[in-house]
Amino acid sequence: MRYFEDLAVGQKARFGSYAVTREEVLAFATKYDPQPFHLSDEAAAQTHFRRLAASGWHTCAMTMAMVVEDMKANATASLGAAGIDELRWLKPVFPGDTLHCETEIIEVKPSERRPERGSFLNRMTVINQHDEPVMTFIARGMIARRRPAA
Residues that bind a copy of itself (CB under 8 A): 28, 31-35, 55-58, 60-62, 64-65, 68, 71, 81-89, 137
Q: How far is the CB of 32 from a copy of itself (least distance, A)?
A: 4
Q: How far is the CB of 33 from a copy of itself (least distance, A)?
A: 5
Of 8 and 113, the one with the shorter C-beta distance to a copy of itself is 113
Cβ–Cβ < 8 Å for 4, 11: no
Of 105 and 142, the one with the shorter C-beta distance to a copy of itself is 142
Alpha-carbon Rg for the chain, nearest whole angstrom, is 18
Local structure of 37: helix, strand or coil: helix
Q: How far is the CB of 131 from a copy of itself (least distance, A)?
A: 21
Pairwise CA distance, residues 22 & 137, whole Å: 25
Of 28 and 120, the one with the shorter C-beta distance to a copy of itself is 28
Cβ–Cβ < 8 Å for 37, 24: no
Q: How far is the CB of 95 from a copy of itself (least distance, A)?
A: 16
Cβ–Cβ < 8 Å for 111, 117: yes
Pairwise CA distance, residues 150 & 146, whole Å: 12
Pairwise CA distance, residues 19 & 129, whole Å: 10
Of 92 and 128, the one with the shorter C-beta distance to a copy of itself is 92
